[in-house]
Amino acid sequence: MIRKSLTILLVVSLVASATPATALTSEPEIQTIVPQPTVTPGTENTVSFQLLNEARGTEDSTITATNVRVSVGDDAPIDVLTEQLYVPRLADGEPVTQTLRMQVPANIDSGTYRIPLRVTYEFETNGGDQRQITKNLNVPVRVQSGAQFVVADTNSTATVDGRGTLTVDVRNVGEQAASDATFTLTSNNNDVRLGGGQQATRFVENWKQGATKTFEYDAQLGESAQEGDYSLEGTVDYKDASGNARTSPAFTVGMTALPEMTFEVSDVESSLRVGDSGKVTGNITNTGPLTARNAVVTFQSNSATAQAVETEYAVGELAPNETTPFSFTVDVKSEADPGPRQYGVMVNFRNQDGDQVQSDVVDVPVRVGQSNAGFEIRNLESSLRVGEEGTLSGTLVNTGDDPVTNAVLQFNPAGQTVTPVETEYAVGNLDAGESREFSFQVEVSSSSGGGPRQFGFQVAYRDEDNQQRTSNTLEVQTDIAPESAEFEVTPVNGSFAAGETGEFRVNITNTRDEPLSDISAKIYAESPLSSSNSEAFVEELGPGETETIVFELSAGGSALAKTYPVKMDFQYDDSRGETTISDTYQVPVEVTESEGDGLPLGLIGIIVLGIVGIAGFVYVRRD
């Protein structure tokens, strides 16, 4: 009985060992697989991972999971942007790929971080029951080591519709140094330009771990730019410690656009009048965000009837909200109309970087008053003559309605041939309708052509408000007489017989209104007249004085009886010490027939011919 039972047990065991074991089907076994877990600091990353439902045994299988819902958590300091994932069906051995978006800080430490997942799914059991399971999984990510870059600070002096310097401080916060690094700053906004373009680069040979580099750019903001913050983009191309070329993630560089440099005008006052010069004064305030250095206020007029005597007024340095006065002297033409006018000023200055900047035009409203002063020149008299000093005199009349004080008549003739000895004549005070005589000593160059001339005068004076003014030009006409001879020349003995030699006496008279000195006279005789002593000298002749000078003069014996000219000129010094050579004078000399006892020349000629004839006849007879 016992032997039989052992035999049955052995058979059963052998059968069991000869029959293969049955594979198991278990509940879903969900796990995560991350093929590429590396993320880059300082930028947004995407990490792909697989959800896999697979049994642990090689021959086992799992039940299909359905309605798989994944809630994604954070692992500080990594900020995961994906919150929910969904997979409708996860069969055995069939992985499904999902993607997580995450923001990785630039200053994060290198290492492995785990992103928590809470997975909820459903399945049907082998017994036909419906179950729901929740389990916790994670997605491991690895932060790479090496150089990492962050913006430490920025500063900008660029203003709207202006320019300035953008300064960017970038720090290497990574665990390694960078070499041969190129920092590229890019503007994607047309209102912001860097050095005239949309992109600018700077080079750093060695960028140590923890080191901060400062980069400066010439930043320009367009007219349509707005005050406030702009976003630029920065990247760094570099070589890591192994010499591999790498590019950092793009990072944001902030830039603040300062308000436009503007100026405001206040407290404007005007003393402008038609046909007169007056003042436009006021205060100008720097209402911009930066100091204006070497500032110059420039006057602008869009009218030909009003022009500033000097168009620039230097005010120097003008800090924000600082106010300084300005003043311009403006000439208003007589053809202008009185009433309100609008002129303009703008400011030329240098900004913080030394760049020359020009502001917009600021309107300056002023009022031009009616003319209340006028002048007229009457009774003009002139003794001006070419080559001489004369007098220009007349009467200045105040034809206006108001008195003037400290009036000065100014005479500045154009050209080089008329020169007043003094250009100003102090008239003094003139009541309305009052007149005052004036006189100018004037030199007229000998190169002047003489004839009618038009001269201009102006009156500088102070009005009832003690404002300095200048009248319009008062135009007058006069004649400049032609040049007169310096001397009057009269021969004392102007008759010589043919063949006679004797003294030639001439009276010379100074016809000028000034003394003449060092007078050298010289005569030029032509055949049949001649002179062996042709020069004479007079030390000085006063105005109207006469002196006789003596030369030697000979008349040739064959001279015909008639009047011959003897030319004469003078070199002399005038009252100013200037040496002048006069024009040429012609003095008449009368030659008469010879008065000797000899035979007449005609008869002598006949006798000579007769003698020659007789001599010839005798010679022939001898032959």
Do the domain assignments include residue 523?
yes
> Residue 7's pLDDT is what?
36
Do the domain assignments include residue 292?
yes
Based on the domain organization, do 136 and 225 belong to the same domain? no
Residue 452 pLDDT > 60: yes
> Residue 4's pLDDT is what?
39
Give the pLDDT confidence of 592-617 residue by residue, as tens digits: 998 654 444 444 444 444 444 444 44
Separation CA 521–CA 390 (nearest Å): 27
> Residue 74's pLDDT is what?
84
Do the domain assignments include residue 88?
yes
> Residue 434's pLDDT is what?
92
Give the pLDDT confidence of 111-153 residue by residue, as tens digits: 899 999 999 999 998 888 899 999 999 999 998 777 888 999 9
Report the pLDDT averaged over residues 225-230. Answer: 92
> Residue 40's pLDDT is what?
78
Based on the domain organization, do 271 and 309 belong to the same domain? yes
> Residue 613's pLDDT is what?
47
> Residue 23's pLDDT is what?
56
Based on the domain organization, do 132 and 166 belong to the same domain? no
> Residue 60's pLDDT is what?
79
The domain spanning residue 126 has which CATH number?
A: 2.60.40.10
Do the domain assignments include residue 207?
yes
Do the domain assignments include residue 5?
no
Report the pLDDT averaged over residues 421-425. Answer: 91
Based on the domain organization, do 222 and 329 belong to the same domain? no
Residue 415 pLDDT > 80: no
Based on the domain organization, do 273 and 355 belong to the same domain? yes
Based on the domain organization, do 172 and 118 belong to the same domain? no
Separation CA 215–CA 180 (nearest Å): 15
Report the pLDDT averaged over residues 35-60. Answer: 85
Residue 5 pLDDT > 50: no
**Of 257, 275, 293, the domain-final residue:** 257
Based on the domain organization, do 499 and 450 belong to the same domain? no
Q: How confident is the model at residue 221 (pLDDT cuts 50, 70, 90)?
A: very high
**Of 304, 339, 368, the domain-final residue:** 368
Do the beta carbons of residue 92 and residue 62 sit within 8 Å? yes
> Residue 216's pLDDT is what?
93
Do the beta carbons of residue 255 and residue 232 sit within 8 Å? yes
Residue 495 pLDDT > 50: yes
322-331, 390-399, 407-416, range with the lowest pLDDT:
407-416
311-320, 369-378, 435-444, 553-562, range with the lowest pLDDT:
369-378
Residue 109 pLDDT > 90: no
Based on the domain organization, do 121 and 217 belong to the same domain? no
Whole-number average pLDDT of the chain = 85
Give the pLDDT confidence of 362-407 residue by residue, as tens digits: 999 998 877 666 788 999 998 888 877 889 999 999 988 788 899 9
**Of 453, 480, 507, the domain-final residue:** 480
543's tokens: 């105005």
> Residue 270's pLDDT is what?
87
Do the domain assignments include residue 613?
no
Hey, which residues does 394 pair with through a beta bridge? 438
Do the domain assignments include residue 615?
no
Do the domain assignments include residue 621?
no
Based on the domain organization, do 285 and 346 belong to the same domain? yes
First to last CA, the chain: 226
Burial string for 323-356 (b: 16+ CB within 10 Å, else e) reads eeebebbbbbeeebeeeebebebbbbbebeeeee
Q: What dihedral do alpha carbons 523, 527, 533, 539 form, nearest 10°?
A: -10
Report the pLDDT averaged over residues 273-284. Answer: 86
Separation CA 281–CA 465 (nearest Å): 15
Based on the domain organization, do 425 and 524 belong to the same domain? no
> Residue 389's pLDDT is what?
82
Separation CA 396–CA 160 (nearest Å): 57
Number of domains in the chain: 5
In terms of Cα–Cα distance, which of 567, 521, 569, 517 is closest to 545? Answer: 517
> Residue 373's pLDDT is what?
63
> Residue 17's pLDDT is what?
39
Where is 458: in which H helix or E strand?
strand 451-462
> Residue 596's pLDDT is what?
58
Based on the domain organization, do 215 and 316 belong to the same domain? no
> Residue 338's pLDDT is what?
86
State what percent of residues in the chain have pLDDT above 70.
91
Q: What is the span of the domain harbouring residue 324? A: 263-368
Burial of 573 (0-12, 13-18, 19+ CB in 10 A): middle
Dihedral over Cα of 202, 205, 209, 213: its sign:
negative
Degrees to nearest 5, angle at CA 41 with 38 and 42: 145
> Residue 589's pLDDT is what?
92
Report the pLDDT averaged over residues 151-162. Answer: 92
Residues with Cβ within 8 Å of residue 457, at least 6 apart in sequence? 377, 409, 410, 411, 473, 474, 475, 476
442's tokens: 């004037």
Give the pLDDT confidence of 58-103 residue by residue, as tens digits: 677 899 999 999 999 987 889 999 999 999 999 999 999 999 999 9
Based on the domain organization, do 114 and 132 belong to the same domain? yes
